[in-house]
Structure 1
Amino acid sequence: MTVAIVVIAFLFLLMALGVPIAISLIWASIAGFVTSIYYVPLEVVPQRLLTSVDSFPLLAIPFFMLAGEFMLAGSMGQRIAGFAFATVGWIRSGLAQVSTLTAMFFAGVSGSGAADTAAVGKMMIPMMEKKGYDKGFAAATVASAGTIAIVIPPSIPMIVYGVTAGVSIGDLFTAGIVPGILIGLSIMLVNYWVTKKNNYLEKKGTFEFVSFKKAFGEGIFALILPLIIILGIRGGIFTPTEAGAVAAAYAFIVSKFIYKDMKWGDVPAAFLNAAKMTAMVVFIIAAANLFGWLLTAEQIPQLLASSMMTVSDNKYIILLLFNVIFFIAGCFLNASAAITILTPLLLPIAIGVGIDPVFFGLVMVVNLSIGLITPPVGLDLFVVKGIADVSYDRLIRAVTPFILIMIVDLFLITYIPQISMFLTTL
């Protein structure tokens, strides 16, 4: 237990000094090996880093990243936004609602909160500012909507959890559909309340079926991609990894040969961007796996389990404790890192009190999605801060209502399992 306290304290010290999370995790692990009463050769470090990412399902990550890049290189992204305009742009707070719905559609392809936030933010934040929206609110809306990307399938954190826990990624994807929609609708509700409270200039219009039909026809090839992914996986046509490859190939073919607006010169840049994002995610996963292996070797899971069981063996109380742990972890850790570290520690406890591993993973991912917009390490906040050029404290104030409504959603999802699990049983 002493080693665990030392390495966790060292980890937070490194993070406070601004050391990247992956490097912090590796150095904290090395500190643990050095201070342990057991002899652990440092050759273990590169071995664990490599073996932890030697996994076929993890290949889905670069494929889904690449699919998102191909969509952005062509006009698929703009067509999705156009459909969102035709669908919800006519209601009060239209642009804010368009931002949220566009992010939900993007979430069905990218699987990355940061990528989703950046793509939607570059399109929508400048437009919202021109319409008179507060800069902080515009940035907060996009950042909050970007969190849906790791709940609605395909979700990269769900892939990481599926690999770590050894559960069906297809079941996780299916379980995330309704919670993702619920969160999106909740964000739209906050959008409406804030715009009405602040009396923004954008007024309610009327739904135009002709414009809706035209936007749907222009964007149909982009809009059906999430359906291809989900139905293909659930129908047993391909695995999640193969679904990523299909998504990337489909996005390339549609952008290059159907819409014909992606140039050959855009292809190398798409591959490079996808490779950079994949390297960042996989490096974090490898470092977190090393850190988690150290905690397991020090028998921290057993100590944690016995400590939690002394509080209660009621699964609803345990779920509450889990959510507190996940929320705190999400404030400081990347979602993939938190999942890799916490799953081996907490999943045995969850199974022990009768919690379904798929449901446990979903609750963890939904909770950690809130971490994308909570200080001090909310990744989506830093993405929109750069796009909107808004101060951090102003952004925090604007995003607070969204955090609160997402916490309400989290408790609904946690204590009404049918919201997420009924689709997996069909």
Structure 2
Amino acid sequence: MITDPIAVTLLLGTFLILILLGKHIAFAIGIATLVTTFYLGIPMQTAAQNMVKGINVFALLSVPFFILAGEIMGAGGISRRLIKLANALVGWLRGGLAMVNIAASMFFGGISGSPTADTSSIGSILIPMMKEDGYDGDFATTVTMASSIQGLLIPPSHNMIIYALAAGSVSIGQLFLAGAVPGILLGVALMIYCYFVSLKRNYPVGDKFNMKTALKAVWEAGLGLGTVLIVVIGVVGGIFTATESAAIAVVYAFIITFFVYREIPLSEMGGILTRSIKTLSIVMILIATSAAFGWIIAYLKIPAMITNVILGISQNKIVILLIINILLLVLGAMMDMVSIILIITPILMPVVTSIGVDPVHFGVIMILNLGIGLITPPVGVILFIGSAISGIKLEKLTRSMVPFYIVMLITLIIVTYFPQVVMFIPTHFMG
């Protein structure tokens, strides 16, 4: 295979040095691309053209709408209603508030698709409640952080859309459906662990199950959860495109928040738009610079080179998937999630397709892997948010996370090596 080893070293070396120096991931990607482009003698406008091409994609129009819908619902009292619903459904179990935390994250994740928003909104309410009720502070915080990862899998998820863009010709509807069972499986696994911890530490039992209370909670939270139904049913049923469904979800979320729930005034919309634009700007600059970076990677034939290296180690599907999982876990602990999806997906796609892994299945494997990275040092952003909310040091939270890491890794193994868990629903409903 003919490639330029100096250019490859320059590209990856510049990128890694800038990351180690603490530069923002988007700048590290962009500068490494420009330096390598200059070395190769490629016109600089080629990099600029690829940056524009990377964000000039119709499917990306759905991302700002999903972000805005999540911000509107998160600010409008939906968190409290979802916690009330979760309490009515699972709060009667031993360690009820821990179960409520996980179930609320499952519901909220379907609306926001953001673990950071989940940890911030659910955690700010439930962590103090759990501590008051006799739960250890580190346990309350780690439950919140671990359960927030469900939001990456439970549809709709804007990270799934970004993966579909990076993978090419992958159905967004199938990705949405594929994430549902793994997301629920992760929640159930966390609940089982929390139940045994609650028995051991004698955490309190919540109020007995009451059907009237449960139905009332479903009614109050149902309007908020309607956002999820609009997107998933619309996309899967072929009624809307992902972009159209996201735009409709924004209008629906706006009406429910400001004219039905009416817990915040219309004047709050300015702050919601500001936060949405800030999040979107970070995502879009990452997509633009990653597109140029990805073009250079393809130009240097790095995907083919990595494919040959991995397949040279082993032809065994189990071993190859293990290698890929380890690689993604390491990268997820050190880099931003969106940039990893955009850069690594085109590199690994030839490897996984060569061993017969469906791109939809691989998308769920990647998202879950990188979700674990969000709560793993040294860069895990969810750890910092959990620490800020609870006031507990990162070192203590990291130690307390160890059992949760084990639970999540077991879930990852099931998702990786039992593709039926991921593919049954999308295959059954969409072929």
When normalised by structure 1's length, the TM-score is 0.95
Bigger Cα displacement from structure 2, 123-132 vs 42-51: 42-51
Decide whether the 8 Å contact of 2:18 with 2:28 is kept in 1.
yes
Deviates more, 1:24-33 or 1:88-97: 24-33
Alignment check: 8 A CA contact 2:71 2:272 kept: yes
Map 1:353-392 onto structure 2 (within 5 A). 353-392=355-394
Tell me, yes or no, if the aligned pair for 1:104 and 1:148 is still in contact at 8 Å.
yes
CA contact (8 A) 1:151 1:369 kept: no
| 1:257 to 2:259 alignment | yes
1:175 aligns with 2:149: no
- Which letter does structure 2 place at the counterpart of 1:31? V
Q: Give the structure 2 partner of residue 83 of structure 1.
A: 85
More displaced stretch, 252-261 vs 154-163:
252-261
What's the counterpart of residue 62 of structure 1? Answer: 64
Aligned to 2:21: 17
1:229 deviates by: 1.7
Alpha-carbon deviations, 1:250-290, whole Å to 9, x = none? 11111122223331101111111111111112222222222
Cα 1:225–1:30 change in 2 (3 A) is same
Distance in 2, matches of 1:372 and 1:251, equals 27
User: Does the 8 A contact of 1:137 with 1:398 survive in 2?
Assistant: yes
The amino acid of 2:22's aligned partner reads G
- The equivalent of 1:226 in structure 2 is 228
TM-aligned CA deviation for residue 49 of structure 1: 2.3
| Alpha-carbon separation, structure 1, partners of 2:15 and 2:349 | 23
- 2: distance between equivalents of 1:363 and 1:353? 15
The offset of 1:403, in angstroms, is: 1.2
Write out per-residue CA displacement over residues 174-211 of structure 1, whole angstroms, 9 at most, x where no aligned residue. Answer: 100000000111112222233333333x2354212221
Cα distance in 2 for partners of 1:2, 1:199 equals 60
In structure 2, what is the Cα distance between the partners aligned to 1:130 and 1:46?
Answer: 54
1:283 to 264, 282, 285: 285
The offset of 1:340, in angstroms, is 0.6
Structure 1 residue 232: Cα displacement: 1.3
Deviations 1:318-337 (A, max 9, x none): 22222122111111112211
Aligned length: 423
| Letter of the structure 2 residue corresponding to residue 224 of structure 1 | G
Which runs of structure 2 are paired with 1:236-315 in the superposition (5 Å)?
A: 236-315=238-317
Alignment of 1:106-185 (within 5 A): 106-166=108-168, 167-185=170-188
Instruction: Report the TM-score, using the length of structure 2 for normalisation.
Output: 0.94
Residue correspondence of structure 1 range 405-424 to structure 2 within 5 A: 405-424=407-426
After TM superposition, give the deviation of residue 353 of structure 1 in Å. Answer: 2.2
Q: Distance in 2 between matches of 1:314 and 1:425?
A: 25
> Secondary structure of the equivalent of 1:327?
helix
Per-residue Cα deviation, 1:391-418 (whole angstroms, up to 9, x for no partner): 1101101111111111111110111111
Where does structure 2 lack aligned partners over 5 or more consecutive residues? none
1:27 maps to 31
Report the Cα distance in structure 2 between the residues aligned to 1:243 and 1:367, rounded to whole angstroms.
Answer: 27
Name the counterpart of 1:188: 191
Counting aligned pairs with the same residue, the percent is 38
Which SS does the other structure have where 1:180 is aligned? helix
Give the alignment partner of residue 208 of structure 1, picking from 210, 231, 254: 210
Q: Structure 1 residue 396 and structure 2 residue 395: aligned?
A: no
The separation in 2 between residues aligned to 1:69 and 1:12, in whole angstroms, is: 33
Q: Distance in 2 between matches of 1:261 and 1:153?
A: 26
Distance 2:355 2:425 in 1: 23
Distance change >3 Å, CA 94–CA 308, structure 1 → 2: same
Q: What CA distance in whole angstroms lies between the structure 2 residues aligned with 1:260 and 1:301?
A: 52
Of 349-358 and 154-163, deviating more is 349-358
Match of 2:43 in 1: 41
> What letter is aligned with 1:207?
F
Find the residue that maps to 1:116 and give its secondary structure.
helix
